[in-house]
Each structure stands twice: as C-alpha cells, then as structure tokens.
Structure 1
Amino acid sequence: MNMALRYYFDLMSQPSRAVYIFLKQNNIPFDPKPVALRKGEHFTEEFKKLNPFSRVPFIDDNGFILTESVAILRYLSQKYNVPEHWYPRSDIKKQSRVDQYLNWQHLNLRLNAAMTFQHLLLIPLMRNKPVDQKKVERFKLGLAESLMYMETYFLKDQMFLCGDDISVADILGACELMQLNAVMEEKLYESNPVLDAWMKRVKARLQPNFDEAHQITYRTCEIYKKTKDNLNAKL
C-alpha cells in the first residue's frame, strides 16, 4: 500500500522552507514531519536511522529516502509532473539554466547569507560570546559579490533568475535572502532596486505559502531586535 510522502523539515532552515513552499504551491500531498533542530532532534538515533547525515530537509517516499533540497526539488518536479516553469523537463537549455543557478548558489548566496545570519545570531547564542564582527564583515563581502552576480548575471533584463517565469531557483534564492531579514540585514538586498523588485515578484507569486513558511523567520527577527545589544556586547 502506498503511503503519503513524508517530509522532514524545520522551517528555520532555508532549504526546508523552499521545499515546503514548493510542495504547497503544487498541491503535492505530504505528511509533515517537523524536526526541531534547536532541540537536537536531528541527532537522535531514530532520526539517524532515516538520515545518517543528520540534516533537514529530506523526504521518505514510500521507503525511498532522499536528502538534499536540490535533489528533492528535481525529484518532486519530475514525479508529480509539475508545470514546466518550475523545473523545465522538455527544454534542455532552460533546464540547464536552472541547474546552473542550483549549482552556483551552494558556495555563493547560500554560504554567505547563511553564515552572515549564523555569526550575527546563532553562534553568539550557542557559544555565549559576543558577535565576531570580523567574520560578519567577511561574509557580508562575499554576500555583496553574490548579490552582484544575481543582479548582473542571473536576472539581467529578465523577470526571474532563470527566465521570464518563476522556477525552483527563485524559491531557493528568496528563502536564503529571508534569513537576512531575521537579523535585520534585509537592506543588503532591498537597497538594490533590481533585487528588491525581484524579491517582491517572488513573494507575490508564492503567497500565501511564502508568509506561512516564514512565520518563524518573522518571529526570529523580533527576538533579534530584543537581544541585538547583548549579542554585540556581552551575553
């Protein structure tokens, strides 16, 4: 008997949010399996039996375990035959454009946005130490370069990252940038008219699922506002 697709995720995780939004946007039925990373639930023996990498997101499709958000999005696109604009299947050039972004983002936008967030909030909290401003500035420099390439190479004169319609690349990109909102650094992209307009287009296309998936991000921002002075001084 076929079971519902099981989705393991934590909406504090950018890739988890991206897959969650994609599932919702395409009305793909799934059994939600939230994992509280802050509680270390991904390190339990029960979790490791399913995913030895101790990461989210991952899916269990009737016994077929698949990790890594990019692989999951490609799998879901093909299995559920979603509209071509999400991940083109019939046009190899359009597909390759999406793949190009998916491969690029790991060590560029994803790395720099995630590490900016972590060094401003998570690492100081976990280690009970003030923010390491040198590391923050280092990743902000990398982030500035990534944003430049998003504007001048991926977007150029088109509406979305890989063409004139939204794709999985846009979901992943937007979810990464929203991590900056959690630490009040959204000006890093909102100050760029091209990126700001793109972000607004992506959000509009993905509502109401975008805001639903980012409720925890909005709450984290409120927490950060209250603790910012302590994080920058002494916890």
Structure 2
Amino acid sequence: MVLKLYIDLLSQPSRALFILLKTAKCDFEKKLVDLRKGAHYTDEFTAINRFQKVPVIDHNGFILTESVAIIKYLSRENLIPNSLFPKESKSQARVDEFLEWQHIGLRIHCAMYFRVKVIDPKFTGKAPSAKTLMGFEKRMISSLKAFEMHWLQNGTEFIAGDSITVADLLAACELEQPRAAGYDAAENFKDISTWWNKVRNHFNPYYDEAHAVINSLIEKNKLAAKL
C-alpha cells in the first residue's frame, strides 16, 4: 500500500515532510487537507487524526501524527536516507537535540508572529494592535538571534554537523512563515541567510515546489501594498 501523507502546504511541518519524501524518492500519495476551509475539523479527518492537525501519515493502516515522530518512524522503516536522519547514535543525538529545542525555541515564535499578523486578521477582520504585534515580533527576533548564535555559529556548516539533515529542513520551513508575514530573517541575519540558501539549494526543486503557496501569498501581499 502507498504511504499516504495528509498535509496543507501552509503548514511548516507539512512542507518539511513533503520535501523530505520527495527528496527520498519515496512513493507516497499526497492528501490535501484545506485548513482555511476547516477541513481538519470534519468528522472524516477527525477519524484519521483525533487532534485535528496536519501532518499525518497512514502507512499500511498505521496512522501516525506529529512531524518529529513521523520522521523517526520513516527512518526506522528505511523510507528516508540515513544522511538526512543518521542512525549512528551520536549523530542522531545531535539531530534530536535540535528537534527537541526547536518546538519552543524557534517554531512557536515564528508561527505566532505569522498567526497574529496574517491569520487572525483574516478570520476576525481586525488587525492586531501595534503594541501586540511588536511584542510577538520582539519574541520572534529574540528566538532568531538564539537560533543563529547557538545552532549556526557552532563551528559546523549545518545545524547538527557538517552534513545537512532533517534539522536544517524543519528549521528552514519554520523561517518561511514569518517571511510570508513580511519579515525575512535572511535580510537581518547574515549567518541565517548563508545557511538558508544552502538548505534551499540542497532540497530543490522540491523546496520551491512546496513553498509555491507561500511565495504566491508573499507576491499578493506585495502587490496589495502598492495599491
């Protein structure tokens, strides 16, 4: 049976898993779940994921949620390259170290900035106050500073060593979220910019394919700002 991947490409971890499986040349069926239309709240999808979130995989009837758990499972099933998620103990521990940190160290701050500036106004019709937005932006910038200092200035080329791994892919996808809200970390952090370009280049053409929706949103916002 083909692996089924339930995603919405507006979701950072959804994009990361899509890129990962494409890069691995893994045979999978893409199942789109439109979050903007509330498809994740339907009874049909809730039967697949009780948490009503994406991404989710269905592998021969085995359903698994949470992107990090999915990545580790795909590795154990030999569906993704060892180079991207190493099986050697210490190398894997370095990747796991970042995966544990990134949830509250990077992801939450980038995601909340995007949500407050882009998502909430679309649903409520109200823009956030300048004070509220500034607070989320400050926390996001602080997390970006920590990311650059502790993970990109550690004497290695990539997050978990001198070889690119899923840690780099997940982090890169997280940074696309504030970019879609008008804040490009590459314009403000030199080391992030250099590293980010390497990650994009490594995973292309699938990286750009996965981010077509995000890039379209950015272009629409630029056009609207000129009007």
Instruction: Give the match's secondary structure for 1:51.
Output: coil
Q: Does the CA contact (< 8 Å) of 1:26 and 1:82 recur in 2?
A: yes
Residue 63 (structure 2) pairs with residue 102 (structure 1): no
Deviation at 1:39, TM superposition (A): 0.7
How far apart, CA to CA, are the structure 2 residues paired with 1:47 and 1:83? Answer: 30
Which aligned pairs between 1:162-177 and structure 2 lie closer than 5 A? 162-177=160-175
Deviation at 1:109, TM superposition (A): 1.0
Q: Does the CA contact (< 8 Å) of 1:12 and 1:216 recur in 2?
A: yes
Deviation at 1:125, TM superposition (A): 1.2
Deviation at 1:226, TM superposition (A): 4.4
Q: In the alignment, which residue of structure 2 is the partner of 1:40? A: 38
Deviation at 1:78, TM superposition (A): 1.9
CA RMSD of superposed structures (Å): 1.6
Q: Does the CA contact (< 8 Å) of 1:119 and 1:132 recur in 2?
A: no
Structure 2 unaligned residues grouped into runs of 5+: none
Q: In the alignment, which residue of structure 2 is the partner of 1:130? A: 127
Structure 1 unaligned residues grouped into runs of 5+: 231-235
TM-score normalized with structure 2 length: 0.94
Q: In the alignment, which residue of structure 1 is the partner of 2:24? A: 26
How far apart, CA to CA, are the structure 1 residues paired with 2:19 and 2:125? Answer: 33
- 4+ residue segments displaced more than 6 Å: none
Paired amino acid for 2:214: T
TM-score normalized with structure 1 length: 0.91
Q: Does the CA contact (< 8 Å) of 1:116 and 1:139 recur in 2?
A: yes
- Deviation digits for residues 39-84 of structure 1 (CA, Å, limit 9, x no counterpart): 1111110111111110000000011010011111111122125332
Q: In the alignment, which residue of structure 1 is the partner of 2:75? A: 77
Instruction: Give the match's secondary structure for 2:47.
Output: helix
- Deviation digits for residues 170-208 of structure 1 (CA, Å, limit 9, x no counterpart): 11100010112212210x343211110000000010100
The structure 2 residue matched to 1:223, chosen from 217, 220, 224, is 220
User: Structure 2 vs 1, CA of residues 31 and 81 (structure 1 numbering), >3 Å: closer, same or farther?
Assistant: closer
User: Structure 2 vs 1, CA of residues 133 and 227 (structure 1 numbering), >3 Å: closer, same or farther?
Assistant: farther
Moved more, 50-59 or 174-183: 174-183
How far apart, CA to CA, are the structure 2 residues paired with 1:8 and 1:58? Answer: 5
Deviation at 1:144, TM superposition (A): 1.9
What percentage of aligned pairs have identical amino acids? 41
Deviation at 1:229, TM superposition (A): 9.1
How far apart, CA to CA, are the structure 2 residues paired with 1:226 and 1:130? Answer: 19
Deviation at 1:34, TM superposition (A): 0.6
Deviation at 1:133, TM superposition (A): 2.5
User: Structure 2 vs 1, CA of residues 84 and 220 (structure 1 numbering), >3 Å: closer, same or farther?
Assistant: same
User: Structure 2 vs 1, CA of residues 93 and 13 (structure 1 numbering), >3 Å: closer, same or farther?
Assistant: same
Paired amino acid for 1:56: V
Q: In the alignment, which residue of structure 2 is the partner of 1:233? A: none
Q: How many pairs does the alignment contain?
A: 226
User: Structure 2 vs 1, CA of residues 82 and 47 (structure 1 numbering), >3 Å: closer, same or farther?
Assistant: closer
Q: Does the CA contact (< 8 Å) of 1:158 and 1:164 recur in 2?
A: yes
User: Structure 2 vs 1, CA of residues 50 and 82 (structure 1 numbering), >3 Å: closer, same or farther?
Assistant: closer
The structure 2 residue matched to 1:212, chosen from 185, 209, 212, is 209
